Amino acid sequence: MSIHERIERLVALGLSPAKTIALSSKVSGRAVVGCLPVITPDEIMHAAGYLPVGMWGGQVRFKLADSYLQSFACSVMRATVELAIRGTYKDVKAIFVPTICDTLKCVLENMKVILPETPVIGVTYPQHRGIPAGRKHMLAELERVRAEVAKLAGAEITDDKLAKSVAVYDAFRKAMAEFLGTAAKYPALINAKARHYIIKASYFMEKAEYTAEIEALTQALREQPHTPFDGLRVITTGVMADSEPLLDLMAELNVAVVGDLMLHESIQHCRPQSFCGSPIEQMADRFLQMKGCSVFYEPAKTRGQILIDKARETGADAVLCFLMKFCDPEEFDLPVYMAELKQAGVKMLQVEIDQQVDSVEQIRTRLQSFAEMLSI
């Protein structure tokens, strides 16, 4: 299989969630459970024999969601609720909702009403992650989820089963980190759109299956000669950039993503610094050590420095912030890291986006002007 065929295959899988999930469920023999943003204990579900898949909304016209959510809720959550009402998730065996923002707390209860026959399990994360009480709560919460999932599956989730699933997910995250690092060196081959949908495909596939695919693509990339690239290299940050018109525009304007700090992308692939303790402890430590994630309380506010380091490491021309409309945690973070980037001399462009983007002409003008300004 050629490098282009590998890229096209994974992009196609990312572009067709329903088809990809159905195929992966059939091949793996695993029933599907849905996982809302941002972080869910997927390893527990995997150890129980389920196929955890991402539920991050989609591009859909709102007709029914406003009966449950205010119009000023973020478009990701409104789209998720809209799809649930339409029956898109009727075949999932359970839905997991992390209650990390006010809207997700509402969605947790809404899902119980919209899908009364589907078990809906909330996951509560500690905000004070750096203190002993935070770790104690995290461990207790993961054990509670393990007990609920075991009851749902009708089988005990032993430490041995969980350890195997933790190993599968760790191998996946390691492979993703290697792909993202390698892809940054080939912006002419992996444009912004391809990069996004390759990552997105991971939400819909059994992780061992996806890991094999991404490792093969990474190896194929490493064997390619480096092609000159004269476009704009950016680090992206925000919740997500899951809008095909926006990604098409970035590809058209030759804007390549060489690194990111996106909730929907690389933040998902962080790994704990060590793999000590029980499988539950390893899972807890992964969450407790997460940095630069806007939806989690972090007194040190490391996001700005992480973006500065990524820009310098990759030689990026600028940081491109996709500010999700009506996402309060993102809006609270913005002034802090914007000031830090300015002080460090790292150029930045902020673009307000919505998952339901119809027209990108205003964004086109801003991106073109920004690129021209950087070239002066």
At 254 the three-state DSSP class reads: coil
What is the number of other CB atoms lying within 10 angstroms of the CB of residue 59?
Answer: 15
Show the tokens assigned to 249: 């525009």
* Structure-token match 């992964």, residue found: 286
What sign results for the dihedral spanned by CA atoms 154, 51, 31, 138? positive
> What pTM was computed for the model?
0.94
Q: What are the strands of the beta sheet with 318-324, ordered from one edge? A: 255-262, 232-238, 318-324, 348-353
The answer to whether 159 and 44 are in contact (CB under 8 A) is: no
Taking only the tens place, the pLDDT of each residue in 300-323 is: 899 999 999 999 999 999 999 999
Where the chain has pLDDT below 50, the residues are none
325/354 Cα distance (integer angstroms) = 6
d(CA 100, CA 106): 11
pLDDT for 376: 52
The pLDDT of residue 166 is 95
Residues 6+ positions from 340 with CB-CB distance below 8 Å: 304, 305, 307, 308
Q: Would you give the DSSP letter of residue 277?
A: S
Integer Cα distance of 85 and 68 in angstroms: 10
Phi and psi, residue 264, nearest 5°? -85, -10
CA distance 197 to 11: 5
Q: Are 122 and 95 in contact (CB under 8 A)?
A: no
Q: Give the pLDDT of residue 69.
A: 87
Taking residue 370's Cβ as centre, other Cβ atoms within 10 Å add up to 21
Cβ atoms of 161 and 47 closer than 8 Å: yes
What one-character DSSP code corresponds to residue 268? Answer: G
List the domains of the chain with CATH numbers.
28-160 (3.40.50.11890), 224-375 (3.40.50.11900)
Phi (first) and psi of residue 190, to 5 degrees = -110, 90
Eight-state DSSP code of residue 276? -
3-state secondary structure of 304: helix
Characterize 19-46 residue by residue with b for buried, 16 or more Cβ atoms within 10 angstroms of its Cβ, and e for exposed: ebbeebbeebebbbbbbbbbbbbbbbbb
Whole-angstrom distance, CA of residue 42 vs CA of residue 40: 6
Rounded Cα gap, residues 149 and 144, in angstroms: 9
Query: How high is the pLDDT of residue 259?
Result: 96
pLDDT of residue 323: 92
Helix (H) or strand (E) holding 208: helix 207-222
Question: Within 10 Å of residue 52's Cβ, how many Cβ atoms?
Answer: 24
Amino acid at 133: A
- State whether the Cα torsion 101-102-107-109 is positive or negative: positive
Any long-range contacts for 63-68 (C-beta under 8 Å, 24+ apart)?
68/106, 68/110, 68/113, 68/114
- Tokens (6 digits) for 279: 């499988």
Which pLDDT value is given to residue 135?
Answer: 94
> H or E segment at 236?
strand 232-238
